[in-house]
Chain A
Amino acid sequence: GDSVTQMEGPVTLSEEAFLTINCTYTATGYPSLFWYVQYPGEGLQLLLKATKADDKGSNKGFEATYRKETTSFHLEKGSVQVSDSAVYFCAYSGGYQKVTFGTGTKLQVIP
């Protein structure tokens, strides 16, 4: 069945370090891909999205490129801040309003 696999956490980085969180998906057709972020005690918020192959989603310094050939949507940021500490979820949707999420990757950024 359709699924999303993302790297296990937690990931601990020093402030201003480079961040990569890997995400791959298994799906048929042309799904839309997303990264959501969850801060402590809150619901999820959309961070960025891409709806077709080679699209690059970007927001708040985060980027991810929809790679159909490798079925990947890795999240990157050039310089993380303490305020980026949160749980990051990769997700995809093949249609209608059903979204399949990865298990989440906890990021901790230390000063």
Chain B
Amino acid sequence: KAGVTQTPRYLIKTRGQQVTLSCSPISGHRSVSWYQQTPGQGLQFLFEYFSETQRNKGNFPGRFSGRQFSNSRSEMNVSTLELGDSALYLCASSLAGDRVEKLFFGSGTQLSVL
């Protein structure tokens, strides 16, 4: 079974641009979560989607948005990029349920904002 796939692996953007990251979950997983990982803050929860609906949202500005498609694939978008958005963005999928049993992570997209 293929794991969680994130594309692209690396991105370099400049301030003010926007970026879209993609995540394909493990087949059969209906929940997709996104996390931002930085050396200073660790992993910060961005949002979680299930059946094309956002169920949970972290404390990030509205510049960060996401969506999920009917095949459970997910995208996240960051508009008007700032230097502080440079981070590793991790996607995780799981079997949907009221309680988390296990998150399966992709290798991440490393975003550098210049």
Contact = CB atoms under 8 A, between A and B. Distances in A.
A42 B90 CA distance: 10
B102 A41 contact: no
Interface string B15-51: 0000000000000000101010000011101001010
B43 A45 contact: no
A96 B105 contact: no
Interface in A90-111: 93, 95-104
Give the interface centre of B33, B43, B48, B102 by most chain A CB atoms within 10 Å.
B43
Interface residues of B, number: 28
Give the interface centre of B45, B48, B100, B101 by most chain A CB atoms within 10 Å.
B100
A89 B105 CA distance: 13
Contact of A96 (B55, B107, B108): B55
Nearest to A46: B102
Interface of B: 4, 31, 33, 35, 41-43, 45, 48, 50, 55-56, 58, 90, 92, 94, 96-103, 105-108
Interface of A: 32, 34, 36, 41-46, 49, 51, 89, 93, 95-104
10 contacts: A36-B103, A41-B107, A49-B101, A95-B99, A96-B48, A97-B103, A101-B35, A101-B42, A101-B43, A103-B42
